[in-house]
Chains A and B, each alone.
Chain A
């Protein structure tokens, strides 16, 4: 049931790190413009975005969500995920640490332009909200045979 994540750790992020190093070399440190809707790191919840030729996958790392409070909508290639993550305070207790996010959140995610907004699926499991969006048929890579 659970896929071993060695692929996830070795291949996926190594490539991303290599991309970052290359970008850093080309554009210098922090000087290239971020997407206009990009938020600073540390915005809740953290997200990862991956793609295959058929789909784009978005993962939001938000433990303890009430899935009913989620409001997920998509307009063309702009995905909006809003919701509330409550971390209730225990009355009369002394708090030594209060690091967990408590409150409303909203993330706007710009997806690749060839996503099909009519084919979106979402599931919430073990604290990770997964959103899968299929890409449009016409833009998928096609093999060309040489006769």
Chain B
């Protein structure tokens, strides 16, 4: 799980308290076929406004901020999920056409498709018999 810790000084007591700012690592399915690579990630609670995708030729980073309406002053009784941020990065390889990346989000499921560059798609080789 990706984690970054910020240290915050509280003004009243002058005591430093570590403020954990851990992001959840969303579960993904990744598959490849002749066309390209597809990544599907679970990010429940994330809508379009909270989603952030960053891609360059070397890497893809998916980040999401879950926004769930909750009543004021609610007391926690049980929590499997202890963060509202999702973050995960992937290294990409050169044969992917990142400029043609396509992404969609529905019910918290993010689907990202990156096609392969045309010249690298597998081609059948015809063998001519002399």
Interface, chain A (partner B; CB < 8 A): 2-3, 5, 7-9, 12-13, 15-17, 41, 45-52, 55-57, 59, 61-65, 87, 90, 92-101, 112, 124, 126-128, 130
In whole angstroms, what is the CA distance A97 to B73 when docked?
Answer: 40
Given A15-B76, A59-B68, A126-B107; A93-B44 close (CB under 8 Å): no
Count contacts on B: residues with CB < 8 A to the other chain.
Answer: 40
On chain B, the residues within 8 Å of A47 by CB distance are: 78, 80-81
Give A97 Cβ to nearest chain B Cβ, in Å: 4
Asked if residues B107 and A65 are in contact (CB atoms below 8 Å), the reply is yes
Interface majority SS (helix, strand, loop, mixed), chain B: loop
B70 at the interface (CB under 8 A from A): yes
The 6 residue pairs across chains A and B that have the minimum distance between CB atoms: A127-B108, A63-B108, A127-B44, A46-B80, A2-B67, A99-B27
Asked if residues B108 and A64 are in contact (CB atoms below 8 Å), the reply is yes
How many A-B residue pairs lie within 8 Å, measured between CB atoms? 145
Q: Interface segment, B31-39, B55-63, B94-102, B122-130? A: B31-39
On chain B, the residues within 8 Å of A45 by CB distance are: 44
Interface majority SS (helix, strand, loop, mixed), chain A: mixed
B119 at the interface (CB under 8 A from A): no
B106 at the interface (CB under 8 A from A): yes
Give B12 Cβ to nearest chain A Cβ, in Å: 15
In whole angstroms, what is the CA distance A52 to B74 when docked?
Answer: 5
In whole angstroms, what is the CA distance A41 to B74 when docked?
Answer: 23
Residue of B30, B45, B107 near A96 (CB, 8 A) is B30
28 contacts between A and B (CB under 8 A): A2-B47, A3-B67, A5-B67, A7-B70, A15-B75, A16-B82, A17-B82, A48-B81, A49-B79, A50-B71, A50-B74, A50-B75, A52-B71, A61-B44, A61-B80, A62-B44, A63-B108, A64-B109, A93-B32, A93-B33, A95-B29, A95-B30, A95-B31, A100-B27, A126-B66, A126-B108, A127-B43, A128-B44
Interface, chain B (partner A; CB < 8 A): 27-33, 38, 40, 42-47, 49, 65-84, 106-109
Task: List the A residue with the shortest CB-CB distance to B70.
Answer: A8
On chain B, the residues within 8 Å of A55 by CB distance are: 71
Residue of B27, B46, B70, B81 near A126 (CB, 8 A) is B46
Task: List the B residue with the shortest CB-CB distance to A5.
Answer: B84
Asked if residues A63 and B81 are in contact (CB atoms below 8 Å), the reply is no
Residue of B27, B31, B83 near A94 (CB, 8 A) is B31
Asked if residues B74 and A61 are in contact (CB atoms below 8 Å), the reply is no
Residue of A2, A100, A101, A127 near B69 (CB, 8 A) is A2
